[in-house]
Amino acid sequence: MKEDKPPQQHNHPRKITKLSQPLIYLLVISLSYILGYLSSSSSSSTTHNITTSTTTTSIQPSPPSSSSSKTTTNTAKSTSSSIPTDSLDHFRFLTRCGKPVSGELIRQTLLHKVYNGTSPYSEFPPPHINSLIKQKIIKGWGSKGAVFENLIRKVKPTTIIEVGTFLGASAIHMAELTRSIGLKTQILCVDDFRGWAGFRDERFKDIQMVNGDIMLMYQFMQNVVYSNATELILPIPFSTQSTLDKFCEWGILGDLVEVDAGHDFHSAWSDINRAYKILRPAGVMFGHDYFTSADERGVRRAVNLFARVNGFRVQVDGQHWVINSN
Ligand SMILES: C[S@@+](CC[C@H](N)C(=O)[O-])C[C@H]1O[C@@H](n2cnc3c(N)ncnc32)[C@H](O)[C@@H]1O
């Protein structure tokens, strides 16, 4: 009998242990939850501020700061108070470009640096390509929007840099515009001429593919030949990122820079920031898809964030966004 009943002094501590174990667990869980909440709320408030301000900008772009004049060695100038200064490092691209090449020498400089001094149109098309391209396929998206004529008449550019060209619809339109008002403008078309995965749908099924190689650049060049614009338009057939960085390094700057390549946020953000570096003082940067079905892919978000970080006002011209550098 004696042995049936546990000793009294053991009974009490066991009772405490039984009760306190869940209590301790509860305390530990609550404490870690509180600590976790406190630390996450401080970082999420940063994100929230940026998101909120971007959304606001898309409805009503923020006014430019008084210090928004453009230099070729610019860094972010006016900074939104909602973006912490230590985050700005993430927004940094090249900060210093090479000595600017004068507009008159740009074509010659690029023929030398990119094409070993020979025009890519020389003896074009080569015989083996002839049967793979059409006399012309000039199709684009908003490629003749009013913005092109508005900006060309306003800026009277010596150099236009187009970031994203495809078949050349907008580049050819700009060449026709500059020619019609007597400008001698050089249009540099930066595009890897690969299009994007699956682009040869119904609308572009005429663009041939040979062993996985797409004839986009040749068709673009044929379109330029057809439009009698080979002296005005020069393709630069590499990725936008590497080309824009090289342009900055080489001092190849544009009076007008059109950004219309990758339409996801990250591509647009990268292209816009790099394009800005190669804008001449008082130049204008613009691009498509600010108000189109592609909106949600991220162009507008990238444009708005860029404007906010740098203190610019986004102007809208039809489906296009426009940022004046001063
Ligand atoms: C929307 S199209 C350009 C349309 C042209 N501006 C027009 O209005 O006729 C986009 C082009 O960007 C090019 N592109 C997309 N991302 C690129 C990248 N990272 N580097 C080079 N080209 C790119 C594609 O090959 C495609 O030709």
Structural domain of residue 240, as residue ranges?
61-324
Burial 224-252 (b: 16+ CB within 10 A, else e): bbebebbebbbbbbeebbebbbbbbebbb
Q: What pLDDT does 129 receive? A: 96
Same domain assignment for residues 42 and 103: no
Q: What is the pLDDT of residues 132-152, one digit of tens each?
A: 999 999 999 989 999 999 999
Give CA–CA dist 185/174, Å, rounded. 9
Same domain assignment for residues 167 and 275: yes
Testing ligand 1's pocket by substitution, the residue of 260, 263, 321 carrying the most ligand atoms inside 8 A of its CB is: 260
Q: What pLDDT does 42 receive? A: 35
Same domain assignment for residues 303 and 192: yes
Instruction: Average the pLDDT over each of 20-29, 238-247, 314-323 and give the range with the smallest value.
Output: 20-29
Q: What is the pLDDT of residues 50-85, one digit of tens each?
A: 322 322 233 333 333 333 333 333 333 444 556 666
**Which residues lie closer than 8 Å to 56 by C-beta, 6 or more apart?**
62
Split at pLDDT 50, 70, 90, the class of 326 is confident
Same domain assignment for residues 26 and 78: no
Same domain assignment for residues 139 and 30: no
Q: Which residues, listed in sequence order, are joined to residue 258 by a DSSP beta bridge? A: 162, 286
The phi and psi torsions of 4 (rounded to 5 degrees) equal -65, -35
- CB of residue 192 inside a 6 A radius of ligand 1: yes
Same domain assignment for residues 49 and 66: no
Same domain assignment for residues 36 and 109: no
Number of H helices, E strands in the chain: 9, 9
Split at pLDDT 50, 70, 90, the class of 124 is very high
Amino acid at 222: Q
Higher-pLDDT residue of 51, 91: 91
By alpha-carbon position, which residue is closest to atom 10 of ligand 1?
Answer: 261
Same domain assignment for residues 110 and 132: yes
Averaged pLDDT for residues 243-250: 97
- The domain spanning residue 299 has which CATH number? 3.40.50.150
By alpha-carbon position, which residue is closest to atom 5 of ligand 1?
Answer: 165
Q: Name the residue among 284, 294, 293 with its Cα closest to residue 317.
A: 284
Q: Residue 160 in contact with residue 255, Cβ under 8 Å?
A: yes
Same domain assignment for residues 51 and 189: no
Give CA–CA dist 87/84, Å, rounded. 6
Number of domains the chain is built from: 2
| pLDDT > 90 in the chain, percent | 66
Query: ∠ CA(293), CA(82), CA(64), 5° rounding?
Result: 70
Average pLDDT, the chain: 80
Q: Is the pLDDT of residue 207 over 80?
A: yes
pTM of the model: 0.77
In the β-sheet with 315-317, what is the strand arrangement from edge to edge? 233-236, 186-190, 159-163, 254-259, 279-287, 320-324, 315-317
Domain boundary among 57, 79, 103: 57
Same domain assignment for residues 30 and 109: no
- CB of residue 166 inside a 6 A radius of ligand 1: yes
Same domain assignment for residues 35 and 164: no
- CB of residue 165 inside a 6 A radius of ligand 1: yes
- CB of residue 169 inside a 6 A radius of ligand 1: yes
Averaged pLDDT for residues 231-249: 98
Q: Residue 167 in contact with residue 138, Cβ under 8 Å?
A: yes
Same domain assignment for residues 81 and 16: no
Give CA–CA dist 278/285, Å, rounded. 10
- CB of residue 143 inside a 6 A radius of ligand 1: yes
